[in-house]
């Protein structure tokens, strides 16, 4: 098929590249000329393991093209995916201006019948608004459907190629047939394509992220209780996760969730509920717990030292999760700002988010080290924020020799508490035995 993807962020670029990898001719469009120039020059504007190789291969095979021109992108397009940003507005609503603008331009430049697909995370009822825009601009028949993404940053290629499920909301048999054909190569191992009505599909993405966020905040609340009662949250987590009705994923306590999806989608669900007269108290608590948890590292450090003024604190990990450079609503932002606000000096390291962090903390006095041990040198404490693999087995003897004070504050519970203490460190974890 001839496919157009509007938007070359995480979702758009991964979607377009993976469809090209399965043999389709894909044109990715973005209104940012610098981004398209970078892609056409062989660069990739985001960090995502495996993506750059796939982009280069499919560009070389002429299955993947990049443009800023709707006329070029929509020529002979049979399917057009809208994968642009939907940033939250002041009241928590997803801002649909970019989605609707893309729909208008798609309609104006159609050259044949086309299935227009909402790939962006959009609130319930958005497909109807897209259809209304297309009705005013399109001169060819069209169908609108919803196909929410469930990609994890850092594992997006594998998620697309081997999905748990594909959710598609359709209102016509034609759209259903087109989407079934499009996803056939990715569901040959019995993963289901779940066809449903469009409104249910739109809500499914929000419901999934809200549930995962709820599990995280639940375990962070449980960790706080463990600290007060002298229990070990790791033991509790294993105990409840072994129940097949519960399972282990997303039951790891830490310093809260961030990124482009969970915080925004939790707020969006609460806003949608409020619009129809419901008060989603559970998610309000999820959000409140998460904001509190982001302050845990700073509070633990302040409690240990009494005052952070003049102290040098090392921070390992700035991206909101491993295998990405994304710092949108990352817990590290709250941590770094909290340390600075308490008079501490901050020296931080992240394997890939250094450039993003340099822009974010520009002029704030945050020193960004090239490698992790350089960040820890002379530090009064080392704070782990993001659990990159290279941080999981630190050289404790080396750290002991270069740090001013041997204090480790583990915001992800990935370090062995007994080994750290045996090596002469004061160790704090999240919800571990009254710490």
C-alpha span between 112 and 103 (Å, rounded):
15
C-alpha span between 226 and 363 (Å, rounded):
39
Residue 299, pLDDT score: 96
User: Choosing from 145, 226, 261, 420, which is the catalytic residue?
Assistant: 261
Query: Looking at the 3D structure of the chain, how many domains does it have?
Result: 3
Q: What's the DSSP call for residue 250?
A: T
> What's the pTM?
0.90
Structure tokens given for 414? 């990935």
Residue 90, pLDDT score: 75
Tens digit of each residue's pLDDT, the chain (435 residues): 999 999 999 999 999 999 999 999 999 999 999 999 999 999 999 999 999 999 999 999 999 999 999 999 999 999 999 999 998 877 778 889 999 999 999 999 999 999 999 999 999 999 999 999 999 999 999 999 999 999 999 999 999 999 999 999 999 999 999 999 999 999 876 668 999 999 999 999 999 999 999 999 999 999 999 999 999 999 999 999 999 999 999 999 999 999 988 999 999 999 999 999 999 999 999 999 999 999 999 999 999 999 999 999 999 999 999 999 999 999 999 999 999 999 999 999 999 999 999 999 999 999 999 999 999 999 999 999 999 999 999 999 999 999 999 999 999 999 999 999 999 999 999 998 655
**Chosen domain end from 196, 213, 241:** 196
Is 9 strand, coil or helix? coil
Is residue 398 domain-shared with residue 313, that is, in the same domain?
yes
Is residue 45 domain-shared with residue 138, that is, in the same domain?
yes
The string of DSSP codes covering 336-401 is HHHHHHTT-EEEEE-SS-HHHHHHHTTTTT-EE-SSHHHHHTT-SEEEE-S--GGGSS--HHHHHH
C-alpha span between 162 and 201 (Å, rounded):
20
Neighbours of 352 (CB within 10 A): 16
Geometric angle at alpha carbon 294, from 292 and 299, rounded to 5°:
80
**Chosen domain end from 233, 266, 291:** 291
C-alpha span between 192 and 183 (Å, rounded):
10
Is residue 304 domain-shared with residue 374, that is, in the same domain?
yes
CATH of the domain at 172: 3.40.50.720
Question: Within a domain: residue 299?
Answer: yes
Q: Is 261 a catalytic residue?
A: yes
Question: Within a domain: residue 262?
Answer: yes
DSSP H or E run through 166:
strand 166-169
Residue 345, pLDDT score: 97
Is residue 287 domain-shared with residue 303, that is, in the same domain?
no
Q: For residue 279, give the nearest of 266, 292, 268, 270 by alpha carbon.
A: 270
**Chosen domain end from 291, 325, 349:** 291
CATH of the domain at 283: 1.10.1040.10
Which residue bears the tokens 């299955």? 63
Q: Which domain holds residue 332?
A: 295-428
Is residue 183 domain-shared with residue 220, that is, in the same domain?
no
Which residues does 141 contact at the CB level (< 8 Å), separation at least 6? Answer: 113, 114
Is residue 192 domain-shared with residue 221, that is, in the same domain?
no
Is residue 282 domain-shared with residue 301, that is, in the same domain?
no
Is 409 strand, coil or helix? strand
Task: Please give the radius of gyration of the chain, using alpha carbons only, rounded to the nearest integer.
Answer: 24
Is residue 309 domain-shared with residue 283, that is, in the same domain?
no
Is residue 160 domain-shared with residue 255, that is, in the same domain?
no
Question: Within a domain: residue 435?
Answer: no
Question: Within a domain: residue 348?
Answer: yes
Q: For residue 430, give the nearest of 257, 292, 254 by alpha carbon.
A: 254
Side-by-side strand order, sheet with 381-384: 367-368, 345-349, 312-316, 381-384, 407-410, 426-428
Structure tokens given for 88? 């939250």
Is residue 356 domain-shared with residue 230, that is, in the same domain?
no
Residue 206, pLDDT score: 95
Is residue 343 domain-shared with residue 239, that is, in the same domain?
no
Is residue 21 domain-shared with residue 54, that is, in the same domain?
yes
The string of DSSP codes covering 287-339 is HHHHHHHHTHHHHHHHHHHS--TT-EEEEE--SSSTT----TT-HHHHHHHHH
Residue 398, pLDDT score: 98
Question: Within a domain: residue 433?
Answer: no
C-alpha span between 348 and 368 (Å, rounded):
5
Q: What's the DSSP call for residue 232?
A: B
């Amino acid at each position: 098929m001839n496919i157009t993807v509007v938007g070359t962020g995480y979702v758009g670029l991964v979607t377009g590249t993976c469809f090209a990898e399965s043999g389709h001719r894909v044109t990715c469009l973005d209104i940012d000329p610098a981004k398209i120039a970078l892609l056409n020059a062989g660069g990739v504007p985001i960090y995502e393991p495996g993506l750059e190789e796939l982009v280069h291969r499919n560009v070389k095979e002429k299955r993947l093209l990049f443009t800023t021109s709707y006329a070029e992108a929509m020529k002979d397009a049979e399917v057009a995916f809208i994968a642009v940003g939907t940033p939250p507005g002041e009241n928590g609503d997803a801002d649909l201006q970019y989605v609707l603008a893309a729909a208008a331009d798609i309609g104006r430049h159609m050259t044949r019948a086309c299935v227009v697909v909402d790939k962006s995370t959009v609130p319930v009822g958005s497909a109807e608004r897209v259809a209304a825009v297309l009705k005013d601009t399109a001169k060819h028949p069209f169908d609108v459907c919803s196909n929410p993404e469930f990609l994890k940053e850092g594992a997006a290629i594998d998620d697309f190629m081997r999905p748990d499920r594909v959710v598609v909301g359709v209102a016509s048999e034609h759209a259903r047939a087109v989407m079934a054909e499009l996803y056939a190569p990715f569901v040959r191992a019995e993963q289901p394509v779940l066809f449903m009505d469009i409104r249910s599909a739109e809500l499914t993405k929000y419901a999934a992220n809200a549930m995962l966020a709820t599990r995280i905040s639940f375990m962070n609340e449980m960790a706080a209780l463990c600290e007060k009662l002298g229990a070990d949250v790791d033991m509790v987590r294993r105990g409840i996760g072994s129940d097949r009705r519960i399972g282990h994923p997303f039951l790891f306590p830490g310093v809260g969730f961030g990124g482009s999806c969970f915080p925004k989608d939790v707020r969006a669900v609460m806003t949608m509920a409020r619009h129809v007269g419901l008060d989603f108290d559970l998610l309000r608590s999820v959000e409140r717990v998460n904001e509190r948890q982001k302050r845990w590292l700073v509070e633990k450090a302040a409690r240990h030292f009494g005052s952070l003024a003049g102290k040098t604190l090392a921070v390992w990990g700035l991206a909101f999760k491993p295998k990405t450079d994304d710092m949108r609503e990352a817990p590290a932002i709250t941590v770094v700002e909290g340390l600075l606000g308490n008079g501490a000096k901050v020296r931080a390291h992240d394997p890939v988010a250094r450039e993003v962090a340099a822009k974010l903390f520009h002029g704030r006095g945050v020193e960004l080290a090239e490698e992790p041990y350089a960040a820890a040198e002379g530090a009064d404490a080392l704070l782990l924020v993001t659990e990159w693999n290279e941080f999981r087995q630190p050289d404790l003897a080396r750290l002991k020799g270069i740090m001013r004070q041997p204090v480790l504050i583990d915001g992800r519970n990935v370090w062995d508490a007994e080994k750290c203490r045996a090596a002469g460190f004061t160790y704090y974890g999240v919800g571990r035995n009254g710490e």
